[in-house]
Amino acid sequence: MPPGQEFTYTVLAQGRLTTEDEFGNIVLRATPAGAVVHLRDVARIELSVADYDLVGRYGSKPLSRYLPCINFQTPNAIEAAKGVKKLMEALKTRFPSDIDYQIPIDTRSR
């Protein structure tokens, strides 16, 4: 990744670590002289839920539970977004005539 690029890592633990402080105490590197780099030294640590509930609405209209699609940021977000748009255009040719898609939020750099 390019310098300065932020990236989110997901950690699944077996219940042994339960607080942000416990995760922060993970040792990433130790030198023979005794210097230690902990996870808290190089990362922002946040605990969050394992899955996200979402209610699909566009404006004031409810969506089918199968339609909402979220593309989370990746290191290659611009290429991924272009790929999603290309795929949706290809899939649109197979939609029934009364079905369409929209991309209401696009946070990529323009």
Per the model's pLDDT, the better-predicted residue between 95 and 2 turns out to be: 95
Mean pLDDT, rounded, for 66-71 = 60
pLDDT at 45: 85
Residue ranges and CATH numbers for the domains of the chain are 1-50 (3.30.2090.10), 65-110 (no CATH)
Q: What is the pLDDT of residues 12-44, one digit of tens each?
A: 656 677 888 988 888 888 999 999 999 999 888
Q: How far apart are CA 64 and CA 69, in angstroms?
A: 11
Mean pLDDT of the chain: 76
